Amino acid sequence: MSQSPIIPTVRGRLLALAAAVGLAGCVSTAAAADTAGIDFFEHAVRPLLADKCYSCHSAGAKKIKGSLRLDTYAGMIGGGESGKPAVVPGKPESSQIITAVHRSTEDLAMPPKEADKLSNQEQADLEKWVAMGAPHPEANGAVAAPVVDRAALMAKGREFWSFKPLAEVAVPAAGAGWADSDIDRFIAAGHKDKGLTPTPDADRRTLIRRATYDLTGLPPTPEESDAFVADQAPDAYARLVDRLLASPRYGEQWGRHWLDVARYADTAGDSADYPVPQAWRYRDWVISAFNRDLPYDHFIRAQIAGDLLPAGDDEERRGNLVATGFIALAKRFSVAPEREKQLTIEDTIDTLGHAVLGLSLNCARCHDHKFDPIPTTDYYALYGIFDSTRYPFAGSEENHRPFDLVRLVSEEEEAKATGGKAAEIRAEQEHLQALWKERDGGKRARRKAAEKARLADHGDGKELKPEEQAALAEQAKKDAEAHAAEDGKRRDDGAIKHEIEETQKRHQGLVDNLPDYLQAYAFAVGEMEQPHDVQVQKRGDLSKLGDQVRRGFPTVLGGQKVAAGTTGSGRLELAGWLSEPSNPLTARVMVNRLWHWHFGRGLVATTNDFGTRGAAPVNPALLDWLAKRFIAEGWSVKRLQREIMLSRTYRQGWSGDEHNRTIDPDNTLCWRFDRRRLSAEEIRDSMLAVSGRLDLSSAGPHPFPPLKDWGYSQHVQFFAVYPSSHRAVYVMQQRLRKHPFFELFDGADTSFSTGVRASASTPLQSLFLMNDRFVFDQAQAIAERAPGDAAEQVANVYRNVLGRAASADEVQVASTYLARFQAEAGAAGMDAKAGVASLARALLASNEFMFLE
Amino acid sequence: MDRLPLLTRRQAVSSLLAGSLLLPGLGGGGAGLWAGETPAPTDPLAPRAPHFPAKAKRVIMIYLSGGMSHVDSFDYKPKLYSAAGTKVNNKFIKRPDWEFKPRGKCGAQISELWPHLAEKADELCIINSLRADHGNHFEAALGIHTGSVTLARPSLGAWVSYALGTNDKNLPSFVVLAPELPYAGGQVWSANFLPPCHQGVRITPGDEPIPDIIRRLPTAGLQGLELGLVQSLNQRHLQGRPDQALSGRMDAFTTAGGMQNEAPEVFDLTTESDATHELYGLKRGEKKGFAWQALVARRLAERGVRFIELIDVGANSGHNWDAHGDMATHTPLAKNVDQPTAALLTDLRQRGMLDDTLVIFTTEFGRTPTVDGEKNKGREHHPNCFTSWLAGGGVKAGMTYGASDELGIEVAEKLVHVNDFHATILHLLGLDHEKLTYRYGGRDFRLTDVAGNVVKDIVA
């Protein structure tokens, strides 16, 4: 099978990349008032300039023809050698560029080749743009986009709200007569500015349902609801919140939220999607961390560098180790993921950026982030840290067994789990890696030579000058000779291959029949023996290396570097920088997440993106106040949640005041509580809960096939759906093929950090509720638990499914329904409970059940 | 057109609910019961105009999984015959197993592997200069579907659904007829970060082509009763809650009812004439095979489904186009696909639908013209140069575009990168690939990422 590296080797991307500056990249927000005009420039004009003109008229051109640059506003206005401006804003007839593209005179016809001429549409767009006054993001003297002035960008970046230090804000004196708490006063101040009025408090039954789902992901039992409704003590609600925060179910709900952000999955995501039988430990660690209210700064540190943190006891040590699953569970790629580590590192940095900092750091993998102040060097400063980190591998098409797992148990227990062969197993794994290195070293060199030869032969579609072609051919010949000489010293490929196969066989022989082997280890990371800085990979291409960059933290966030003489990878330092109280993003991003998960919308709507392309905060003062308070209260998640939930803001009803709706239709300023559909997990768990079939014990590891059966490949991928009556958070979820239920109901993406879940209602979901066996099974169980006559059955089913009493007319209608349905069902051969089960299904499918308000 | 008159959605649901009792005091039936039916203005699947007028209104994409050999099918390289057995770059030139002939009025070279398609040469626009980014199935299959060979991205079909919506809400906008899973599994039809309603719905031949489409209750009457109750409960709940999420969900039930009604009719081929069965080479009553897929595709296209993908075989290299072991394995595979694909073109033409249906025939990469061993019967993966063809909506017919070098190893003329291929497909649908963007994670994403040029020479 042929192999080629997963590096974007696409030609013609150079130019396109320049175009990306305007397109996929980022438009300055400060530069221009005329955003529509700028938009037109970015979408219609800049791409065509990049496509047709930049190859000769930009900073990226080999030689700038006629000294004219069209990649800057100044260049267009100033013109080139001719001294005439290429663009005269508002005057197409005086603009040289328009004359040129019309090709009406022979001396000034551009682009030079007739074949490349602009289409009529393109000519019209260009002319329209000039006539509009040539709106351009640099028109006000802002930074030139294609040539980045880093210092200026950085200075400008620090001015952006999210990179500024947390502000000291005073609690506003607003909301008299309504506000119960400081949070309410901030919200009331926002209301006052816009003329909004808060919605009256929710009724008690609504409130307990809301709070219980919110904190535990489950409905309250009918008894709990009744008791709360009857409890008139002034502190009844506060006691309810405290009870729910202390429930073990709390960690399952809020841990799941974090698992969304951490793109948790039980498989690796390589071409065969190998199982990761140890992943569950990370999942359980997250759940337990929320239940224990582990301070958030510590929570972050443990996930980045738990293996390097001091631990009070063995349990904490194991927990810290497992916590690095956050990094270890980065997505794997291809048939040989260890050979594509650069992509796994990219996933790590991407996830880390979104999850902890709310930043898209990965834009900077190929080019300086154009408007967020993240230069490529910052990306490779982080890259070096993870390139110096040892990742475990789950197994892959080319190597069916895991390696570099991290010992979790004591040495004695490890000896027991490995039949005393732990050292031998490790030795085989190390031997394998040495062999791969030997094999790939030769291959990579040969591939490069072959590429050069190919270019010389074919010009790669570009017109190469004869001398260029000759030079390439000469170089290719030299390389080939060098390889031949090297090959003389090197072992034969076949011999290496043979030894790899033999080693793999021995390795498999050692591990395949050890029942306790896999669970004696964690899927965790460690330090490489030789930590190192890396060179910038130009345009994200591993073979095009630039300057070496010292490992460190993004410049705009402080730019701390790993100290000289440090022996570690830098993860420990990174963990510290991320959790510094002075870091403006870590606390802001997390309190915003908490707000989003409670209210369904963050104060910053784009919870994973606090960059310039993200949404602006609607109540920046509140955001900073919450962040400061979070830090001051020892990064306690539960304390902040308690404060949010006890606020009157949270306790508002859902009804919509007409006046408010006109002013703020999307309720961005929290003048009511927004209704939301239950999440995939909540839907499943609620159905199991009301049918009495939910297993509330923790589930432990998944029943993956034994190691000796692992031979998955891209042709025969691993795929399984394990039935479970445990809570949804414990259900096995894969990367390549999503679990059908979670896919159907908008579960989290298992390959990317999910900050905001979708909650679309689709016909396929309706079909599930109409016809799926799972729904029928739960309805049957509900029906079987409903005794008595029709009226009693109806009352019972209403109470169990909806947690409330049926009204008199509901009982009457449903009883009529039962009789009618049962008669037809009986005729169709169904049992005596068919009608009650149908009623239960209808209630399970109802909007009242599916939505929280 | 000989299709059955279709029920409107409202009629479908009324018929579904035939016999449903109107529950006193619970919404009362009539129009009020279906308050959510008018598509909301924000309905993500509502039909939308393209960026500019275009002929193609819908797409049928045929994807051969495993890598169809270009030099054995549509890219004629005489030197592979004349110089067979000699060495180039330390590899042996391998003779193709099939003879080529000029076909149709246009004289396009098509091999004997495709006798029926050869008859359709004047309908095809064959591109012999495609290039993919990766030589592995998994990555290349992702590439031809999503434009990205590394990270999962939305599929072409999902982008088209997102751009244009759909005309029949009783059916999904993007349907994938896939008896087996391809490389990279469901990622190839994923909506990824686009709204989930644009995800391809996989249809598997057999008794339950769409998950949960089969009524579990024994009679339609019982289901009508139950759905009537659900909608009545929802109608009552909706009072005082003017919320599109609630009415939208009621609408989804209505559509699901319609889908459940319509889907069996779509998959019921008994109303197709003997002549049609014969044209496709489909045995009456047969519910699987590529002929079944092709005929169902036409029926879906008639009903307004925006993007229909037919995946031929899957990731199992034992029986897909991944002919490492022996090129002869292409024979039965082509036999299975050839006649139905030609029939689909004929059928669409006869029904006046070929002019506004774009047919894509593609694979993830080609196969190596040269091989390691002199006696090797198979060919390896070859992303540097391969073949696909387009037909129908807005494409120049009877054209061969681009060329490989004399051995079919590299593109010699008019390179069409997969990104260019995608840009062109979008263009044929009236979509500017640079304007079709979706903001995700702080970036405006495109199907073509930062690349792609429309191949204007093949646009009619």
A10/B133 CB distance under 8 A: yes
- The A residues from 660 to 719 touching B (CB cutoff 8 Å) are 675, 677, 714-717, 719
For chain B, give the percent of residues with pLDDT over 70: 90
Residue A18 has pLDDT above 50, yes or no: no
Q: For A23-27, A400-404, A498-502, A653-657, which range has the lowest pLDDT when averaged over its residues?
A: A23-27
pLDDT digits (tens, 9 = 90+) for B239-284: 989 887 898 899 889 889 988 988 888 999 999 999 999 999 999 9
Cβ density class A340-361: b for 16+ within 10 Å, e for less: bbbbbbbbbbbbbbbbbbbbbb
Question: How far from the centroid of its chain's Cα atoms is residue B148's Cα?
Answer: 18
Subunit contact B368:A829, Cβ cutoff 8 A: no
CA of B338 vs chain A CAs: smallest distance (Å): 24
Is a pLDDT exceeding 80 seen at residue B407?
A: yes
Residues of B whose CB is below 8 A from A765: 252
Averaged pLDDT of chain B:
88
Chain B residues inside the 8 Å CB shell of A43:
434-435
Rounded to 5°, the CA angle A598-A616-A349 comes to 80
Asked which of A565-574, B3-12, B164-173, B366-375 is least confident by mean pLDDT, the reply is: B3-12
* Torsion angle (degrees, nearest 10) of CA A444, A449, A451, A455: 170
Residue bearing the bigger pLDDT, B14 or A104: A104
CA of B217: which chain A residue's CA is closest?
Answer: A771
Across A130-135, average pLDDT: 85
The CB-based long-range contact list for B261-264 (8 Å cut-off, 24+ gap) reads B261/B7, B261/B12, B261/B15, B261/B16, B261/B170, B262/B6, B262/B7, B262/B12, B262/B168, B262/B170, B262/B171, B262/B303, B263/B170, B263/B171, B263/B209, B263/B210, B263/B213, B264/B213
The token pair at A448 is 């490069």
Banded model confidence at residue A52, pLDDT cuts 50, 70, 90 = confident
Strands B201-203 and B174-177: parallel
> Residue A81 pLDDT > 60, yes or no?
yes
pLDDT average, residue stretch A460-473: 66
Calculate mean pLDDT across residues A754-773.
Answer: 91
pLDDT at A463: 56
User: d(Cα A337, Cα B422) in Å, to the nearest integer?
Assistant: 28
pLDDT at B35 over 50: no
A524–chain B Cβ distance below 8 A for any pair: no
Whether B241 sits inside 8 A of A675 (CB atoms) is yes
Torsion sign over Cα A652, A658, A663, A665:
positive
Are A821 and B219 inside 8 Å of each other by CB? no
| Neighbouring residues of B75: CB distance < 8 A, sequence distance ≥ 6 | B109, B128, B366, B387, B404, B408
CB B185 to CB A736 under 8 A? yes
Higher-pLDDT residue of A24 and A70 is A70
Contact flag A838-B225 (C-beta cutoff 8 Å):
yes
pTM: 0.80
Rounded to whole angstroms, the Cα distance separating A147 from A26 reads 14
Cβ-based burial of B335 (10 A; exposed 0-12, middle 13-18, buried ≥19): middle
Predicted local confidence at residue A105, as pLDDT: 74
pLDDT at res. A452: 65
Task: Identify all chain B residues contacting A611, using CB atoms and an 8 Å cutoff.
Answer: 442
- Residue A456 has a pLDDT of 60
For chain A, how big is the Rg over CA atoms in Å? 31
| Residues above pLDDT 70, as percent of chain A | 91
Mean pLDDT to the nearest integer, B169-191: 89
CB contact under 8 Å between B226 and A47, yes or no, is: no
* pLDDT of A471 strictly over 90: no
A322 vs A324: CA distance, rounded Å: 5
The CA distance from A609 to the nearest CA of chain B, in Å, is 6
Share of chain B above pLDDT 90, in %: 72
pLDDT at B14 > cutoff 50: no
| A453, A473 contact by CB (below 8 A) | yes
Q: What is the pLDDT of residues B362-389, one digit of tens each?
A: 999 999 999 998 999 999 999 999 999 9
Per-residue pLDDT at B11: 41
- Nearest residue to A255 (alpha-carbon basis) of A689, A745, A730: A730
Inter-chain residue contact B213 with A767, CB threshold 8 Å: yes
d(CA B245, CA A792): 33
Measuring CA to CA, which residue among A269, A260, A256 is closest to residue A735? A269
Q: Which of B51, B129, B249 to mutate to test the interface with A (most CBs of A within 10 A)?
A: B249
**Which segments of A54-108 does DSSP mark as H helices, in order?**
73-78, 96-102
For A656, nearest residue in chain B (alpha carbons):
B241
pLDDT digits (tens, 9 = 90+) for A210-223: 999 999 999 999 99
Query: Could you give the percent of chain A with pLDDT greater than 90?
Result: 66
Question: Chain B contacts of A662, Cβ < 8 Å?
Answer: none
Model pLDDT, residue A371: 66
> 3-state DSSP call for residue A753?
coil
Of B443 and B16, the one with more pLDDT: B443
Say yes or no to pLDDT of A17 above 60.
no
Q: Is A817 within 8 Å of B23 when comparing Cβ atoms? A: yes
For residue B217, pLDDT over 90 is answered with yes
pLDDT exceeds cutoff 90 at B181: no
What is the per-residue pLDDT for A633? 97
A841 near B CB under 8 A:
yes
Asked whether residue A594 carries a pLDDT value surpassing 80, the answer given is: yes
Residue numbers in B near A613 (CB within 8 A): 439, 442-443
Chain B residues in contact with A343 by the CB 8 A cut-off are 150
Longest dimension (CA), chain B: 86
pLDDT at B22: 36
* Higher per-residue pLDDT: B331 or A131: B331
Contact across the interface for B245 and A767, Cβ inside 8 Å: no
pLDDT tens-place string over residues A219-276? 999 999 999 999 999 999 999 999 999 999 999 999 999 999 999 999 999 999 999 9
Contact assignment for A717 to B215 by CB distance below 8 Å:
no
**Cα distance between residue B432 and residue B438, in whole Å:** 13
Give the integer Cα–Cα distance in Å for B58 and B78.
37
Contacts of B229 in chain A (CB under 8 A): 817, 838-839, 842
- Look at residue A370 in the predicted model and tell me its pLDDT: 66
Q: What is the pLDDT of residue A162?
A: 96
**Backbone φ and ψ of A328, nearest 5°:** -60, -30
Which helix H or strand E contains A537, and what residues bound it? strand A534-537
Closest CA of chain B from A6, distance in Å: 7
Chain B contact present for A446, CB below 8 A? no
**Considering chain A, what is the average pLDDT of its residues?**
89
pLDDT at position B318: 73
Whether the pLDDT of residue A70 is over 60: the answer is yes
Quick one: DSSP state of residue A393? B
Contacts of A821 in chain B (CB under 8 A): 222, 225-226
- Are A86 and A70 contacting, i.e. CB atoms less than 8 angstroms apart? yes
What is the pLDDT at residue A33?
40
pLDDT score, position B296: 97
The DSSP code sequence of A330-382 is: SPP-SS-GGGGHHHHHHHHHHHHIIIII---GGGGGTS--SSSS--HHHHHHH
Q: Is B449 left (phi over 0), alpha (psi -120 to 50) or beta?
A: left
Of A318-327, A480-489, A620-629, A666-675, minimum mean pLDDT range: A480-489
In sequence order, the β-bridge partners of residue B131 are B417
User: Given an 8 Å threshold on Cβ–Cβ distance, is B133 in contact with A9?
Assistant: yes
Judge if the upstream peptide bond of residue A111 is cis by omega within 30 degrees of 0.
yes
Nearest to B138 among A17, A19, A714 (CB): A714
DSSP string, B42-66: T-TTS----SS--S--EEEEEEETT
Residue B119 has φ and ψ, to the nearest 5°, of -65, -20
Give yes or no for residue A34 having a pLDDT over 60. Answer: no
Nearest to A765 among B246, B252, B441 (CB): B252
Using the Cβ of A758 and the Cβ atoms of chain B, whether some distance falls under 8 Å is answered with yes
Torsions phi, psi for B128 (to 5 deg): -100, 15
CA distance B218 to chain A (A): 7
pLDDT value at position A675? Answer: 96
